[in-house]
Amino acid sequence: MNPADISAAVREHVRSVSLGESTGHDWWHVSRVAGLAATISEAEGGDPLRVELTALLHDVFDEKFYDGNAGAALSDLVEQLGIRAAFSDMVWDGIIYDILHLGFKGVFDRTPLSPEGQIVQDADRLDAMGAIGIARTFAYGAVKGQEIYNPESGCVEICTPEEYRNVNRSTINHFYEKLLLLRDRMNTDTARKIAERRHRFMEEYLAEFFAEWEYTVSCSRRDQDGCAGKKNQSG
Ligand code: NI
């Protein structure tokens, strides 16, 4: 198979298994990540086919949703799609290693990846930022049954990978434990530049979110004060 046919076979498969997925890890996420990764790779280098296949396959057996041995499942899929000959076994091992380690597992995670893996990691992280990142975060939170925000529990600090996976907290918390940290964790200069605007937009969004929340709280306080509030105003 030539690179175009390999790419088409993988695209077709991934599209068929991820189209309509509702947590923000759907085909359109994969497709955006592949596009971003190609853009970054044009400036930063790397084997284009390796970048593309890593991007297309990066969420197929994501540990958030897949309970089995993701490495073995990926290896079987390569066989099933008939694309094993595209790379040597050693390169496939590297690709699978990258895919298993490129997801965000908390601030403590700094697993080294190949140059192609780093590019796809940047692309995946860029798609978790900005307007699209915000939409995906609330979609994921809803599927996981999380509250949007709870001022009584406030911001929950996450200290270990286990807490990152298991502690129940609001979706707004996710901005502070992950999304706002991504800009400073990009591997490539190209991604760092793209991340800048997306980061600013998330900060503006949060400022607006909390301004509206505060405004609503002060309105209900005024209502509770009722006549007393008015009396104070008139002296
Ligand atoms: Ni992803």
> What is the spatial distance between Cα 10 and Cα 45, in angstroms, rounded to a whole number?
22
- What was the pLDDT predicted at 54? 97
Q: Cα 212 to the chain's mean position, in Å?
A: 26
> What is the spatial distance between Cα 134 and Cα 120, in angstroms, rounded to a whole number?
20
Identify the burial level of 182 via C-beta atoms within 10 angstroms of its C-beta, where 0-12 means exposed, 13-18 middle and 19 or more buried.
buried
Q: Where are the beta strands (DSSP E) in 65-211?
A: none
Report which listed range, 21-30, 58-67, 184-193, 221-230, is most confident. Answer: 184-193
The rounded Å distance from CA 156 to ligand 1 centre is 24
Count CB atoms within 10 A of the CB of residue 213.
Answer: 13
End-to-end CA distance of the chain: 85
The rounded Å distance from CA 231 to ligand 1 centre is 57
- What was the pLDDT predicted at 234? 39
In this prediction, residues 71-76 reach a mean pLDDT of: 93
The rounded Å distance from CA 84 to ligand 1 centre is 23
The rounded Å distance from CA 29 to ligand 1 centre is 7
The rounded Å distance from CA 104 to ligand 1 centre is 9
Query: Does residue 71 carry a pLDDT above 60?
Result: yes
The rounded Å distance from CA 152 to ligand 1 centre is 31
Q: Where are the domains of the chain?
A: 3-197
Residue 233 pLDDT class (50, 70, 90 cuts): very low
The rounded Å distance from CA 59 to ligand 1 centre is 5
Q: Give the pTM.
A: 0.88
Is 230 or 98 the better-scoring residue by pLDDT?
A: 98
- What was the pLDDT predicted at 224? 54
Instruction: Flag the least confident range among 36-40, 103-107, 111-115, 131-135.
Output: 103-107
Which chain residues have CB less than 5 Å from ligand 1, an ion? 59, 124
The rounded Å distance from CA 62 to ligand 1 centre is 8
Q: What top-level class would CATH report for the domain 3-197?
A: mainly alpha
The rounded Å distance from CA 103 to ligand 1 centre is 7
The rounded Å distance from CA 234 to ligand 1 centre is 58
> What is the spatial distance between Cα 183 and Cα 94, in angstroms, rounded to a whole number?
25
The rounded Å distance from CA 228 to ligand 1 centre is 54
Q: Cα 78 to the chain's mean position, in Å?
A: 24
Query: Does residue 226 carry a pLDDT above 70?
Result: no
Half-sphere exposure of 62 (CA within 13 A, CB side): 21
The rounded Å distance from CA 123 to ligand 1 centre is 9
The rounded Å distance from CA 215 to ligand 1 centre is 35
